Structure 1
Amino acid sequence: MAKIGIYGSSFDPITYVHLWTASTVAHRCKLDRVIFLPSSSRRKDKKIYTEDYHRWNMVQMAIQDNEKFIADDYEMKQDPWKITTYETLNYFKEKYPNDEIYFIMGADLLVDIGEGKWGNAETLIRENKFIIMARDGIDMLKAISKSPILRNNDNGNTFHLIDKGLAMEISSSYIREEFALGGEPRYLLPESCYNYCITNSLYQKERK
């Protein structure tokens, strides 16, 4: 039985922080594989700046040298108004029936689920396992204990909390801003992805 982490994000663009996070989580949680799952650009709840095929191409370029990393475009192919993380995890559990599936996310998303802001929140927690990464200002244990959805559906193995040394400040939005303002984000993302952004004029605004 393999242990697989599902790492969903817009990856707009994918950065070294994404790769470092996935590698660190895989190492600490003894994951055999991490699946990078880019969001659909058609989602109504998240602003995505780049077409799906550009982000998909960059994810594939970024992970090609790590045998533990694979990419899946499942969510890009779905109607975003008909699918939630619950359906996504069911898809992966059916795809890998003999393996153990974990959803990787930040503590801020844990809080949102605990407040019932996600579709099928209670069933999502009851039927799945999660690797939760710390976020500044969020007490993960307190977030679980104060939410009936989280605490009443935790069987003791539901949440794997990572609260040490997993916070870096460079974000995709920072890189987008650097490109747009004529900055130089070259060493914040893989060289192949940096060159792809330049070649395809991604994130760059016309400047007078």
Structure 2
Amino acid sequence: MAKIGIYGSSFDPITNVHLWTASTVAHRCKLDKVIFLPCSNKRKDKEIKTENTHRWDMLQLAIAKDERFIANSYEMEQEGWNIYTYDTMKYFREQNPNDDIHFIMGADLLVDIGAGLWKNGEALVDENKFIVMARHGIDMLSTISRSPILRNHDDGRFHLIDKGLAMEISSTYIREEFAMGGEPKYLLPSACYDYIKEHNLYQK
């Protein structure tokens, strides 16, 4: 039985912090695999202007040298307005029935789930396991205890992690730097930096 983490994001572009986070979580939680799951560019809650093919190609370049990391296009291939995390996790559990599947997320998302803001949130919590990464200013234990959705399922399914180092360089920041003629060369994998330059991505 493999222990697998599902790590979703827009990855627009993937950054060194994404990779560092995945590596840290894999090491601390003894994961055999981390599945990088880029979201659909049709999602209503995200404004993604980069073509799927570019995000996918950069992701492949970024993870090529780490055998623990796998890219999966499941959500990218869905109609964005019809896909929810509950459905995604159900899909991966069905695809890997003998494995231990965990959803990797930040504490900010834990707050939203606990507040009932996610579609099928209670069923999502009831049927899955979670690796939750600390975010500045969020008390994860308090978040769980204050939410009936979360505390009623607090049976060990929430693995809370403080990575020990706050690294908050975002994809948004990198896109803005490129757009303004900045130089974010060392904030993302060198192969992705070269790809962005070659394809003139994120330019005004």
Q: Given the two structures, how large is their TM-score scaled by the length of structure 2?
A: 0.98
Whether contact under 8 Å (2:8, 2:104) holds in the other structure is yes
Whether contact under 8 Å (1:134, 1:166) holds in the other structure is no
For 1:89, the equivalent position in structure 2 comes to 89
For 2:129, the equivalent position in structure 1 comes to 129
For 2:44, the equivalent position in structure 1 comes to 44
Q: Please, what is the CA RMSD of the aligned residues?
A: 0.8
For 2:56, the equivalent position in structure 1 comes to 56
Whether contact under 8 Å (1:5, 1:101) holds in the other structure is yes
Identity fraction in percent: 72
For 1:192, the equivalent position in structure 2 comes to 191
Letter in structure 1 aligned against 2:82: K
Please give the alpha-carbon distance, in whole angstroms, between the structure 2 residues aligned to 1:125 and 1:57.
Answer: 32
Once the two structures are TM-superposed, the CA of residue 163 in structure 1 deviates from its matched residue by: 1.9
| Pairing of 1:169-180 with structure 2 (within 5 A) | 169-180=168-179
C-alpha change, 1:103 and 1:166, in structure 2 (3 Å) is farther
Secondary structure at the aligned position of 1:130 is classed as strand
How many residue pairs are counted as aligned between the two chains? 204
| Structure 2: segments with no counterpart, 5+ residues | none
Letter in structure 1 aligned against 2:175: R
For 1:111, the equivalent position in structure 2 comes to 111
Runs of 4 or more, structure 1, over 4 Å off, are none
Please give the alpha-carbon distance, in whole angstroms, between the structure 2 residues aligned to 1:166 and 1:95.
Answer: 34
For 1:157, the equivalent position in structure 2 comes to 156
Superimposed CA distance per residue, residues 35-61 of structure 1 (whole angstroms, 9 cap, x where no aligned partner)? 000011100011213111110110011
| Structure 1: segments with no counterpart, 5+ residues | none
Q: Given the two structures, how large is their TM-score scaled by the length of structure 1?
A: 0.96
For 1:168, the equivalent position in structure 2 comes to 167
Please give the alpha-carbon distance, in whole angstroms, between the structure 2 residues aligned to 1:108 and 1:34.
Answer: 20
Whether contact under 8 Å (2:24, 2:163) holds in the other structure is no
C-alpha change, 1:117 and 1:166, in structure 2 (3 Å) is farther
Once the two structures are TM-superposed, the CA of residue 166 in structure 1 deviates from its matched residue by: 4.5
C-alpha change, 1:164 and 1:76, in structure 2 (3 Å) is closer
Superimposed CA distance per residue, residues 82-125 of structure 1 (whole angstroms, 9 cap, x where no aligned partner)? 22101000110111111000000000000000011111000000
Please give the alpha-carbon distance, in whole angstroms, between the structure 1 residues aligned to 2:135 and 2:23.
Answer: 18
Comparing 167-176 with 55-64, which one deviates more in the overlay?
Answer: 167-176
For 2:182, the equivalent position in structure 1 comes to 183
For 2:101, the equivalent position in structure 1 comes to 101
Secondary structure at the aligned position of 1:50 is classed as coil
For 2:144, the equivalent position in structure 1 comes to 144
Whether contact under 8 Å (1:104, 1:132) holds in the other structure is yes
